[in-house]
Amino acid sequence: MLVLILLSLVASSVSDTLICTNGFTLVNSAKCLKLYSIPSRHRYAEDTCGSFGGTLVTIRNAIDNRAVSTFVGNTGLSYWIGVFCLSNDPSTCYLDDDQGTASAYSNFAGGFPNVDLGGCVYSAASGTLAGKWISGECEDVEMAFVCEIPPTRADPCAHNYNGYCYLPSHENATSASLPFTSAQAACHQNCAELVSIHSPRENAYIQNLYSTANVTSAFLIGALTTAPLTPYWIDQSRWDYGHVSPRSGSSGSCFQMSTGIDGTWYQVDCKASQYFLCKRPTGTVCNSTPPPPVIVTPAPTNPSGCNSTSLFDSGYITSPSYPSTLPAHYCVYYLSTLGAYRIGLYFTEFNAYQSYTSVNVYDSNGSRLATLTSSYSPPPTYYSTSNKMTISSYVSNSVGYRGWAAKIASGSRAFAVKASQAYRPVSRKAYGWAKQQSQKLTEYKSLKLWKKKSRSIILPNTEQCAQSSQRTIFCLAPARKTFVVF
């Protein structure tokens, strides 16, 4: 990474000591772990770990397994671990950190994994099964859990994660809001660059930085695009992870990250003043002139997974022959992602004849989220409550319509709001206010909220939420006369 090499010429490292932040404990000089002893459902456990930029603990070998068991100690608590199984074959048991499967190492008890009992996995605490892995139903079983975050290096910065310091402009810059080139120069004054993001865990960590700041709805990141569909990081690190919104469009060459519930990235005009986030290696002390900023070159304007076994993670699906004339067909699309994440289904077009069309969207538990039968403008969006989603598409006759297309994205904990953040009947006055606000927003009549096992509430379209002057956000569910406050 050229820019980081340049920065090393003008900075010096002050510490190589590995540490853990946020009350985590360094184990085996490799893992930062934290035990949560209150029994919880799997989704709540994943959400909690994700808020630190982590996952449920991942175990790759017998040394890890013994270390985690020792860490939990004599509590007698069985605990969720970061594995999710799609079948009874360990090679389909994916680690939460997206770094492989349990095929290389697992410690399942005899007869496990058994997905008939559930796709989630916990480690038994005592008896003959102590340290063995057991399959469990994700939302019907409550366990203690162990979170894991990457170790970092000592640095006095306020936001220290995985070897980097994060410097939000509203905390560190003289001018909190700047256009891209000026924001980059402000980062350079701290021997930093506009942030590059390389994993869903890092994205979740950054999102959490802004969750309580209440200063902005979006901020600049260090990504540019000078050609269609070819974004890159200005620090010249690899583009090994992307979370560009399916709704992004092409309104500029720079990118901003939303502080909303999905944490997606949008293209934006580089000349517009925005809040921004800088990132530098831990232990850096500035003592020289920073490099000149990157020159922004404007981007030019502009661009089926039918019946597959499983479409894993992010991608693009369409009806057969799209965008040509929609043929008669029956297709099923099976979508999956890692156990720590959820699926966002963003239809980009839905053009079909009502009498001949039925497209059903099913959640992880088999419940139907929607039935689509005609043309929709704007096209709808749906989120799963867990890490699976199924779409069935049936067209009995072709009458000249184009069909449908959808982008699928793997999302973090941000697709849900914890029930502990409030779920309660509203007063008549508050309900009236929320209804008045929501009626100003799009698709009011289609707003729905699901309450899943008293643990999380899924917001399929946050554009139908309203914000009060006290920064309380109300998401209205008219059928129940309830709202979510967060």
Tokens standing for 385?
A: 């409550």
363-385 pLDDT per residue, tens: 888 888 899 988 888 888 888 88
Which residues neighbour 439 within 8 Å (Cβ) at sequence distance 6 or greater?
none
Determine phi and psi for 179, rounding to 5 degrees: -70, 170
What's the chain's average pLDDT?
78
**Considering Cα of 226, then 228, then 233, then 238, what sign does the dihedral take?**
negative
If one compares 1 and 195, the residue with the highest pLDDT of the two is: 195
pLDDT at 451: 29
Distance of CA 378 to the CA centre of its chain: 24
When pLDDT is cut at 50, 70 and 90, the band that residue 338 belongs to is confident
161-196 pLDDT per residue, tens: 999 999 999 997 567 899 999 999 999 998 999 999
What CA dihedral angle connects 319, 320, 326 and 330, to 10 degrees? -80
48-77 pLDDT per residue, tens: 999 999 999 999 999 999 999 999 988 999
Over residues 70-96, the mean pLDDT reads: 94
Amino acid code (one letter) for 397: N
pTM of the model: 0.65
Q: What percent of the chain has pLDDT above 90?
A: 44
pLDDT at 379: 87
pLDDT at 15: 56
Q: Kind of pairing, strands 143-149 and 79-85?
A: parallel
Range of 231-235, 450-454, 466-470 with top mean pLDDT? 231-235
CB 387 within 8 A of CB 374: no
Rounded Cα distance between 53 and 161, Å, is 8
pLDDT at 291: 56
Over residues 401-426, the mean pLDDT reads: 55
When pLDDT is cut at 50, 70 and 90, the band that residue 205 belongs to is very high
225-276 pLDDT per residue, tens: 876 668 999 998 999 999 998 877 767 899 999 998 789 999 999 999 999 9
Q: 459-462: long-range contacts at Cβ-Cβ below 8 A with a sequence spacing of 24 or more?
A: 459/261, 459/383, 459/415, 459/416, 459/417, 459/484, 460/369, 460/381, 460/382, 460/383, 461/381, 462/260, 462/261, 462/262
Domains of the chain with CATH codes: 21-149 (3.10.100.10), 154-286 (3.10.100.10), 311-415 (2.60.120.290), 422-485 (no CATH)
Over residues 31-41, the mean pLDDT reads: 96
Residue 183 to residues 221, 237, 268: CA-CA distances in angstroms?
10, 19, 14
Residue 345 to residues 129, 200, 318, 410: CA-CA distances in angstroms?
40, 17, 12, 9
When pLDDT is cut at 50, 70 and 90, the band that residue 386 belongs to is confident
pLDDT at 290: 54
**Full DSSP string of 343-373:** EEEEEEEEE--GGGEEEEEE-TTS-EEEEE-
